[in-house]
Amino acid sequence: MSDRSRSPYRSTRRGTGGGGARNAPPQPKDPARRAAYDVLRAVHDRDAYANLLLPATLRERGISGRDAALATELTYGALRRQGTYDAVLDACVDRSLKSVDAEVLPVLRLGAHQLLSTNIPPHAAVSATVDLARRVIGHHRSRFANAVLRKVAARDLAAWLEVVAPDRAADPVGHLSVVHSHPRWIVEALAAALGEDPAAGPAALAETERLLAAHNERPQVTLVAKPGRASVADLVAGGATAARYSPHAAYLAEGDPAGLREVRQRRAAVQDEASQLVALALSRVPVEGPDSLWLDACAGPGGKAGLLAGLAGQREARLLAAEIQPVRAGLVAQAVERSVRDAGRVVVADSTSPAWRDGAFDRVLVDAPCTGLGALRRRPESRWRRTPETAAGLAPLQRALLDRALDAARPGGVVAYVTCSPHLPETTGTVAAVLADRADAEPLRAADHLPEVSGAAAGPDGAYAQFWPHRHGTDAMFLALLRKR
């Protein structure tokens, strides 16, 4: 079994990393590994998001080129495979891994990733990681790291998995949890969302395993051309490729998205294709009567609002984007800035107790706060932060938001309930709970408004839409479309 990454690194030789800021501070020795270590520490200590912190760290330290690529590979690789590596490391320490100091663990995980999932030669991986350890955790503890990593280097990943992973036949969920580096409860939740039953044996979890494997692959960068401000042709001219599904999307195979003029000018942005499609589906549902006022009830950080504002402006409609957190509302304002006909307006508001009157809107989007289990490719640390209790704690808020969104829609209007999670209590469970208490709303077949996408229908009678990384190459977005009677 091989799990080698696509990293181009075959030795520890690095380029000069040219192109950094002229006035950047002096770089530490081995800037790539130091940056990866610092980001992993921040993720652990401050609940930082790697996808936000790593690019900022690289810019601030003037790290570019091969060093930036190595730092990215090490950071995301260590986070994605943390569960697997921790199982291996636990077998290589004399005591429980839980007793190892928090500042030492990132060093061990970085070393394990280099040894088990890259083409860096073992002696170089150990040497470079121990040298990093001396500088960040001290000489004494670096000897401990050296001893542990030499034990890790004694086997390749396939051999280690034979040792540390539970038997597939006896414990199929535990086996997938260790092999594909997901907490056990998430494996069970994803299997349930896919309609697979672990009790039926290992073969019954075939699609679940494909999904888990997809979460550990590097996702491509997807861009959105904001309607009326940029086109897919503009993005293609800048080196992107037209996307498979969304008419506003393009894929960027490599490079910094900010290298495109349209992105720098905020005429285009980074946005997952499924995120675009759920907004498009809302805009496509026919409504009788007026279609002039739209609402994005949970707009931060603004990706869907930016797209909806352009679509609304092209129809001479207006979008009100509501966000409860002022800082995120500022990001929404940037996203809708200079939309067609200046259609987007932003307000800081709590959509569970809003100031607007009931029945005011023709179309309403509720992109509800959720566990984010649909974006584990892009935010791998989320799998280690979320718990079943996290999901249970979000349920009242999700239901309240959907309930108030239905209140905000006029009769004949339409509401889109969206989560970036396929977890059933957050998706079909939330919709069913709200509809059970209301007689004024009915589900529409969401997949009917996404004709370009196959295999997305989900839920009772295929009423909802569910995107999947392993099927569609997108985040696992859920969509329910509800008509207000």
As annotated, the active-site residues are 420
DSSP for 48-86 reads --HHHHHHHHHHHTT--HHHHHHHHHHHHHHHHTHHHHH
DSSP state of 380: T
CA distance 261 to 389: 43
Question: Strand 409-419 to strand 361-367: parallel, antiparallel, or no bridges (unpaired)?
Answer: parallel
Are residues 130 and 146 in contact, defined by beta-carbon separation less than 8 angstroms? yes
Element (H, E) at 457: strand 457-458
Q: What is the number of H-type helices and E-type strands within the chain? A: 20, 13
CA distance 427 to 430: 5
For 236, phi and psi rounded to 5 degrees? -60, -40
Residue 272 CB burial class (10 angstroms; 0-12, 13-18, ≥19): buried
Q: In what order do the strands lie in the sheet with 268-270?
A: 241-242, 249-252, 221-225, 268-270
Residue with tokens 């026919």: 286
**Largest pairwise CA distance in the chain:** 74
CA distance 370 to 397: 9
- Beta strand spans in 142-202 (E): none
CA distance 160 to 156: 6
CA distance 126 to 67: 18
CA distance 306 to 229: 11
